[in-house]
Amino acid sequence: MATMMLTLSNGTKAAMVADNGPSLIGKNEIKIEGQRMTPEALWAMGRIGDFDVSPDGKKIVYTVAYYSVPQNKSNREVFVMNADGTDNKQITHTSFQENNVKWIKGGSKLAFLSNDDGSSQLYEMNIDGSNRTKLSAYDGDLEGFKFSPDEKKILFIAQVKTVKSTADKYPDLPKASGIIVKDLMYKHWDEWVTTAPHPFIADFDGNSLTNISDIMQGEPYESPMKPFGGIEQLAWNTSSDKVAYTSRKLTGKAYALSTNSDIYEYDLKTKTTRNLTQGMMGYDTNPQYSPDGKSIAWQSMERDGYEADQNRLFVMDLKTGSKRFVSKAFESNVDAFQWNKDSKSIYFTGVWHAEEHIYNVNLKTEKVKQITTGQYDYDGVSLFGKQLISKRHSMSSGDEIYAINPANGVTKQLTFENKHIYDQVEMGRVEERWIKTTDGKDMLTWVIYPPKFDPNKKYPTLLYCEGGPQSPVSQFWSYRWNFQMMAANDYIIVAPNRRGLPGFGNAWNEEISGDYGGQCMKDYLSAIDEVSKEPFVDRDHLGCVGASFGGFSVYWLAGHHNKRFKAFIAHDGIFNLEMQYLETEEMWFANWDMGGAYWEKENATAQKTFATSPHKFIDKWDTPILCIHSEKDYRILASQAMAAFDGALLRGVPAELLIYPDENHWVLKPQNGILWQRTFFEWLDRWLKK
């Protein structure tokens, strides 16, 4: 057992006690002095992953990821508990990543993916973790799986090669690293695109996988879709003879310009495929067959090229082919859903007024009923006997698993993974405010106060600018952009749900497209100006921070803030919109949000957008700025931050650049995460606490 004394970013002392070996990572026991959230406390937290309910509804299996800062790595362990949360036991103790854990064989076994032998393969074990047995020996990684209802077949995801390498073309140059590019979408998110995920079917005799076949028969398309699609984009029908899958059957330039994905149904008997959503031109994703086998539901966006269109819940009668938009009464996105066991209603999660809750839609009347309430976000929903089960988090707590009574919304917490940390930390108060915008609308703004807040003191205050651009400032919990961490460093945080966010109706959500430098920027200033009227806000020490579109917002406000702010931090932001238009990989996003290409001189929307590019106002920059970016970010290239940093220094503006060669649009490695937090607060403290 080893104890490390840590000096934290706010001066707090903490002792982290580790009783695991050099490769095995388990729960971190951390002792915190000062009752303040710290980077080290965040990284000591276990992060709850996927879960599954046993067939008899009496037990729950779930996973937890643990991180080691000294080892700069993580592993994921498996836990089993009773349905009421009692008898919670960790059943694996390995250095591997156990994922996608499911009950099989009537609840007597658990199936899961693990990288024991270097590649991700399918395993099973007893429900106490014993008799760990490998079921697959596939030449490559299995990235997700689903057993058929009769458990005689397995559907799994694996990569297939779609692009020839340099060595394929020139076998005598096996060590050449150059990549020859002939079409668009040669890079995506954080990878050079050479493969595509495909759904595979295999027979399962109870011990191993045989007769493996590619459902898409070598097509060059993706299913599930990159960069974030997983096993939720594939589904078995109730009779185990058909599979529905999500695919955008496009490549190259056509793929880069379109969001038109469809739901396809593959018949295992005839080996034929039909398109269930032909003519529906936006994203169609995440199919689920009804328990009675008569219908299929999925999430659907209406317009091609608009990735932030309203995500609607659709249901199709498999006999007649008729389709219905059943969630019309909910003017926001359906983020996840689950059929009720009687096939007469569907539970779903969606955000409204900056909180993500569970709802139920009656398929006959199409009436929507809200199930849960409170200052929380619920992450997904599943059936749990006569109850529901979901993960829940807020700005003051990370994910834990809850049971929900669908009749009255009463919840019961089942896991307490990080109670030992929360018990040592005092959280700041989170307040909901409605603020008038410049055009007379009401805007929900979260205000987060420091622990032990004293209204007689004056506090430096941060304006938080959200990314997306169309992702809600809901009750989210982040291990990087953590509001309680900012509050623990004695900052007040102002987090507005500005124009261009879901949860306030479609008109509010869509107003940002083609208007990056317009009303959404006025909304930011309305929020900070209104809260700054409070006597406890130090108006002479205001900061502005944000990532992605929030980073763009910081760069834009740096040239338009009229000396409101004394410090800026932009992470992964767009500095030059013309550069971004040709550097990003998903061209549908650039075309929709920017209105078109910057060379389209007669396109008024595009010209309006590019005229607001932050780089055109750098002559107005007069405030210290920290630029953060990562070189594996292919959504917004690191050259954006480098250009902003260089420009600031050439202008004589104090600036700093934090660059990560090995991270993407996020910062995922433990030591990089702590470096991010320390750099973040060192910069703010330097300029806002003089």
Characterize the bridge pairing of strands 430-436 and 73-82. unpaired
By the 8 A CB rule, do 421 and 44 touch? yes
Identify any residues that bridge with 323 across adjacent strands, giving them in sequence order: 316
For CA atoms 37, 43, 46, 47, the dihedral sign is positive
Structure tokens at 423: 């018990």
Other Cβ atoms closer than 10 A to 192: 11
- DSSP helix/strand/coil, 347: strand
Other Cβ atoms closer than 10 A to 321: 8
- CA-to-CA distance for 557 and 577, rounded, in angstroms? 15
The counts of H helices and E strands in the chain are: 13, 41
- What is the Cα Rg of the chain in Å? 25
- DSSP helix/strand/coil, 522: helix
Identify any residues that bridge with 188 across adjacent strands, giving them in sequence order: 191
Strand ordering across the sheet containing 99-104? 99-104, 109-114, 121-126, 133-134
Which of 327, 513, 548, 553 is an active site residue?
A: 548
Asked about 529 being catalytic, the answer comes back as: no
- Sequence length of the chain is 690
Q: Is the peptide bond before 224 cis (omega within 30 degrees of 0)?
A: yes
Which of 541, 571, 615, 665 is an active site residue?
A: 665
Which long-range CB contacts under 8 A does 55-58 form with residues at least 24 apart?
55/103, 55/106, 55/107, 56/107, 57/83, 57/384, 57/385, 58/82, 58/83
Asked about 490 being catalytic, the answer comes back as: no
Structure tokens at 228: 């974030």
Read out DSSP for 237-300? -TTSSEEEEEEB---HHHHHH----EEEEEETTTTEEEETTTT--S-EEEEEE-TTSSEEEEEE
For CA atoms 640, 641, 642, 644, the dihedral sign is positive
Burial class (CB in 10 A: 0-12, 13-18, 19+), 418: buried
Single-letter residue type at 29: E
Burial class (CB in 10 A: 0-12, 13-18, 19+), 639: middle
CA 297 vs. chain centroid, Å, equals 22
CA-closest candidate to residue 66, choices 86, 84, 87, 93: 93
Asked about 548 being catalytic, the answer comes back as: yes
CA 686 vs. chain centroid, Å, equals 31
Q: Is the peptide bond before 670 cis (omega within 30 degrees of 0)?
A: no
Identify any residues that bridge with 389 across adjacent strands, giving them in sequence order: 382, 403
By the 8 A CB rule, do 47 and 399 touch? yes
Contact partners, residue 615, CB within 8 Å, separation at least 6: 555, 575, 576, 577, 643, 644, 647
- CA-to-CA distance for 46 and 418, rounded, in angstroms? 7
By the 8 A CB rule, do 10 and 38 touch? yes
Active-site residues, by number, are 548, 633, 665
